[in-house]
């Protein structure tokens, strides 16, 4: 696999691939953070996923050879592995264990997308709390994302995210500083999000 895959390094803000373009690879985050973004018609950006080391991204096109469903951007300097579709397909055919793991990852991501689609009509406080709790699974109680990035994940404006996080801070649930949100009372956020 290593001889056919390509390790690539991207600077913060650099685009790895664009939404709507033909896909040719499965990607794995080795170091850094990659965000999957959707650019909406009215100019807003919606983040669908935050990928951290060890996570694959944009795998679904590997099954149907379709287009990339999002734009991948290095949110920090990122080192990624690019695995060509044909190699990924061969590996799945020759390894039932990899196929099973791949299907579990795919179905987990589809569940997240379905849940996110359902939450779009939820109050913004609930959406921000849900975004923070989802990020907690990746980063623990110290979330290294800006309020802009959290707004993109929650499907709201940065101004609304700032107001909401400030309210959470007044309640004593979080502590917010530049480029970081510390969860102090995740149980309170859980009650709000459910």
pLDDT of residue 110: 67
> Is CATH 3.40.50.300 what the domain over 124-193 is classified as, yes or no?
no
pLDDT of residue 157: 87
The answer to whether 153 and 117 have CB atoms below 8 angstroms apart is no
Residue intervals of the chain classified under CATH 2.60.120.10 are: 6-119
Q: Which residues contact 193 (CB under 8 A, 6 or more apart)?
A: 126, 129, 130, 133
Give the SS3 label for residue 54.
coil
The answer to whether 122 and 116 have CB atoms below 8 angstroms apart is no
Query: CATH: 3.40.50.10470, 2.60.120.10, 3.90.1150.10, 3.40.50.300. Which one for 6-119?
Result: 2.60.120.10
Q: What tens digit of pLDDT does each residue of 46-61 get?
A: 888 899 999 988 777 8
**pLDDT tens digit at each of 194 positions of the chain:** 666 789 999 999 999 999 999 998 889 999 999 999 988 777 778 888 899 999 988 777 877 878 998 999 999 999 999 988 888 888 878 888 877 887 777 777 666 665 555 556 678 999 999 999 999 999 999 999 999 999 988 888 889 999 999 999 999 999 999 899 999 999 999 998 87
Query: What is the distance, to the nearest Å, from the Cα of residue 35 to the centroid of all Cα atoms in its chain?
Result: 5
Residue intervals of the chain classified under CATH 1.10.10.10 are: 124-193
Could you tell me if residue 20 is left (phi over 0), alpha (psi between -120 and 50 degrees) or otherwise beta?
left
């Amino acid at each position: 696999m290593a001889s056919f895959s390509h390790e690539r390094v991207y600077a913060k803000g650099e685009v790895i691939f664009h939404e709507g373009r033909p896909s040719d690879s499965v990607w794995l985050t080795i170091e850094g953070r990659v965000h999957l973004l959707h650019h909406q018609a009215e100019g807003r950006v919606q983040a669908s996923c935050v990928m951290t080391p060890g996570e694959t991204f944009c795998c679904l096109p590997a099954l149907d050879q379709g287009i990339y469903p999002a734009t991948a951007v290095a949110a920090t300097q990122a080192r990624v592995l690019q695995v060509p579709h044909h190699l990924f397909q061969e590996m799945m055919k020759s390894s039932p264990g990899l196929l099973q793991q791949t299907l579990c990852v795919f179905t987990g991501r589809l569940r997240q997308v379905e849940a996110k689609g359902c939450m779009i009509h939820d109050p913004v406080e609930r959406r921000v709390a849900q975004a923070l709790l989802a990020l907690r699974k990746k980063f623990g109680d110290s979330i290294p994302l800006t309020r802009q990035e959290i707004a993109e994940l929650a499907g709201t404006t940065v101004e609304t995210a700032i107001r909401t996080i400030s309210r959470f801070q007044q309640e004593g649930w979080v502590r917010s500083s530049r480029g970081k949100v510390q969860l102090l009372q995740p149980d309170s956020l859980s009650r709000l999000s459910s």
